[in-house]
Amino acid sequence: MAEILTGKAYHVDLAALMRIYETNYAKLNALLPSRAGVGDVRSYQVARMTYQLEVSEITKYTTVIDVSQSDESPVFPLPKMTVRLYHDARVAEVCASEQISRIKARYDYPNTKMMQKDEKFQLNQFLSDWLTFCLRHGISREPIFR
């Protein structure tokens, strides 16, 4: 236990985090309709699971997407996430997940909510992996091009 407390302090790897933001932006743009509007939903069937991306907000420079699993009783439920796409910077960031309304870049550890030191990095990496999974194995329930 003493080794854990005296170990190196965690520092955010900004370059790695920005790489994930950039790839998530590109992947989300491949999965979303080209001229999405508020309320637009894109559903994907992957194996026996159904996932959906719903556009909840559009502003001049950003778009907010809610990512969720739409199965009635999912075997491996995907956490509900809110992702903000910044079009001027061409990055996408998970800004909320489940009961976390604002995700910090770094958390002290241990903490009362049991968040990992690199919770933001892990959530964005998870989104990246999930988007890759949908792009490789998913079938859109609606025509991609309108």
Task: Indicate the pLDDT class of residue 146, thresholds 50, 70 and 90.
Answer: very low
Q: CB–CB of 9/116 below 8 Å?
A: no
Who has greater pLDDT, 86 or 136?
86
DSSP secondary structure code for residue 121 in this structure:
H
Q: Model-level pTM? A: 0.78
Structure confidence by residue, pLDDT tens digits, 98-118: 766 566 555 556 656 655 666
* Residue showing tokens 């080794």: 3
Pairing of strands 139-140, 41-46: antiparallel
CA Rg, the chain, in Å?
A: 17
What is the rounded distance in angstroms from the CA atom of residue 37 to the CA atom of residue 27?
A: 18
